[in-house]
Structure 1
Amino acid sequence: MLVACALSAPVMAEVYQYVDANGKTVFSDQPPPGAKAKPLNVRAYAPASAPAKAVKGSPLSDIDKKNAEISAENAKVKEQNKKVAQENCKRARDNLTSLQQNGRIRMPGSTALATDSQRTALLQQAQQDVQSWCNQ
């Protein structure tokens, strides 16, 4: 019984604390040469032989449930984002096709016809929109 207690007791480990040349606090198992290091007493416990299992009603199982809910919600959001991206891609392609097929077009929000330079700018923007939404 005494041997079992001795084996399960924490092990003392030597750890040194010092400030490096950059002014950062460093912890190490060996003192640095030529620097002031403060020895610290640290107890290291042996790792558990098996990970803890969730018990029904325990905080761990509640966390697992919450994580599962969050994962399911994230999957729904990802699917919705995919649908929106597909719709935006279709709209961008339709807009580009419309601009390419019509010789003269009206400026958005106006009754005035677009000049050649404005039409070129609208075509370039429509091509960028197709690339942005369809090449994801």
Structure 2
Amino acid sequence: MKRLLIIAFAMTSTAASLCVQAQTYQWKDANGRTIISDTPGPGSAKTSRSTGNPAPTPTPATEKAGEAVKAAPPPQQKSIADLNLEFKKRQQDAKEKADKDAKDQAARAENQENCERARRTLTALQNGQPMAQLNEKGESQLMDNSQREQEMERARRFVTEACR
């Protein structure tokens, strides 16, 4: 029982000494919210009261610094779970972006290859090189002039589409 009283007395005296040493201000803002701070409230505050030791007389430099602190909203503390969730979201976004970039690059490479193949085919057709097509039976058959013209027109359209 004596130990309990001694511990309670020690805690009370410690808390009392901390309150005496700290300079705190409490006031109500224009919205009626109670603000507790280590700097005095603005002149437009409804009520103001000081607890603890008297504050030193503010200088113009400390008044400007105090105004800057008051103007900035207090930083929001995020929980570890929120920070972890944000980190995982950033990782997922980066992975999705890398995958998208890889797909775009592969599509550009394939498009470039198709373009070069179509240009070579068009050049071969225009130079009059003998070319063959497979018929319905799967046999190779040389192209006649009308088939060559049709293939050249098809190759030109493909070159314009694939080689943008």
Shorter-chain TM range is: 0.5 to 0.7
**Is the aligned partner of 1:116 residue 2:145?**
yes
- How far is the alpha carbon of 1:51 from its aligned partner? 8.7
Residues 93, 130 of structure 1: 8 Å contact kept: yes
Match of 1:84 among 105, 110, 125: 110
Residues 92, 130 of structure 1: 8 Å contact kept: yes
Change in Cα spacing, 1:88 to 1:122, as seen in structure 2 (3 Å) is same
| Structure 1, gaps ≥5 residues long | 9-47
- Tell me which amino acid in the other structure corresponds to 1:61: F
- How far is the alpha carbon of 1:5 from its aligned partner? 6.7
TM-score, normalising length from structure 1? 0.56
Change in Cα spacing, 1:52 to 1:89, as seen in structure 2 (3 Å) is farther
The corresponding residue for 2:88 is: 62
- How far is the alpha carbon of 1:85 from its aligned partner? 1.2
RMSD: 3.3
Residues 89, 133 of structure 1: 8 Å contact kept: yes
- How far is the alpha carbon of 1:104 from its aligned partner? 4.3
Secondary structure at the aligned position of 1:112 is classed as strand
Q: How many pairs align?
A: 96
| Structure 2, gaps ≥5 residues long | 1-26, 35-72
Answer 1 or 2: which has greater helix percent.
Answer: 2
Secondary structure at the aligned position of 2:143 is classed as coil
Instruction: List structure 1 segments (4+ residues) > 3 angstroms apart after TM superposition.
Output: 1-8, 48-57
More relative contact order, 1 or 2 (CA 8 Å, 6+ apart):
1
Q: Deviations over 1:68-97 (max 9, x none)?
A: 111111111111111111111111111111
